Amino acid sequence: MAFDDLPLHRTPAPAGPPPRRARARSSVSRWVILAAGTVIAAAALGLWWMGRAQPPPAVLAPTLPTGAVRTPTRPQPQPMQLPPLADSDAMLSELVATLSRNPLLARLLVPGSAVRSATLAIVMIGDGKTPVAPLAALRPAERVTITGGRLDPASYARWTPAVRALLSISAADAAQVYVNVKPLFDEAYRELGYPDGDFDEALVRAIRMLNATPELATEPVLLVRPAYVEHDDAALRALPPVQKQLLLTGPEQRRQVIAWFGLFARTLELKIE
């Protein structure tokens, strides 16, 4: 280069170390910026991945508050003064009259032992026996009719008055009356040799016994004996007497009786199943 090509009116910049320091500072700055960008990008990527991998919050099913108690549906005893067991017939007759005006029900209340008679009938049913004496008022005057070795379906009508008498009572109202006078039934139950005296147990056993009565696909074949009839089917002959008696009411009336006692038991919160 010719000397006259240089800008002689300015002082030439010294050569050497200063330019090297500027380049060093520029290089360091680039690495710092690059590192910071890498960290920010990594952090952003990590946050995105964590948010993507995290499972959605679980939705908890609603639960009852701790210590919550289910409200019982069993009727509560109404305030009333109960007479002694031996003098309870008049009161029981009045209570039954409030449930139904069916005349057959009044005939069931045997004077002098209404509660004891009803208690004995329930215990006998729970044992699988037919309560002939306690429920004598319900016994039909007509005998069964057998046609061609089978029970004539018309014979089921013999039990229609008894079934109608039962169905004329509201199961819920009967449950209320029962809890009102239950101490009397508990006492009569103890007299029969059950020291715990909780008559609910007798009701459960009786209803379970009735519910266990089998459903028949056809009319049963009956064998006529000198003083009675019996089933030709050995399995039916082996049934408890009260179940064989219930079969004589007919399939439809039997279902109505079992349904009524089922509603009665549910109202009292009795475990029959």
Looking at residue 106, its pLDDT comes to 85
pLDDT digits (tens, 9 = 90+) for 28-69: 444 334 434 443 444 444 433 344 444 445 445 455 555 556
Q: Is residue 246 part of a domain?
A: yes
101 occurs within a structural domain: yes
> In angstroms, rounded to a whole number, what is the distance separating the alpha carbons of residues 66 and 101?
48
Give the pLDDT means over successive 10-residue stretches in the chain (273 positions). 38 47 45 41 41 48 57 88 94 92 86 89 97 90 87 93 96 97 97 95 98 92 87 94 95 97 97 92
Using alpha carbons, list the distances in angstroms from residue 216 to 129, 159, 228: 20, 18, 21
Residue 22 lies in a domain: no
| Residue 204 within a domain | yes
Domain count across the chain: 1
- The pLDDT assigned to 62 comes to 53
State the pLDDT at residue 69. 65
Tokens, residue 264: 């009665």
Q: Say what the pLDDT of residue 73 is.
A: 85
Pairwise CA distance, residues 47 & 167, whole Å: 72
Cβ atoms of 202 and 124 closer than 8 Å = no
pLDDT tens sequence across 144-165: 888 888 889 999 999 999 999 9
Residue 80 included in any domain: no
Q: Is residue 44, in this structure, part of any structural domain at all? A: no
pLDDT cut 90: percent of the chain above it: 55
Q: Which domain, by its residues, includes 186? A: 85-135+142-267
Residue-level pLDDT at 40: 45
Within 13 A of 145's CA, how many CA atoms are on the CB side?
Answer: 9
Residue 26 lies in a domain: no
Q: Is residue 234 one of the residues assigned to a domain? A: yes
What's the confidence (pLDDT) of residue 113?
86
pTM for this one?
0.73
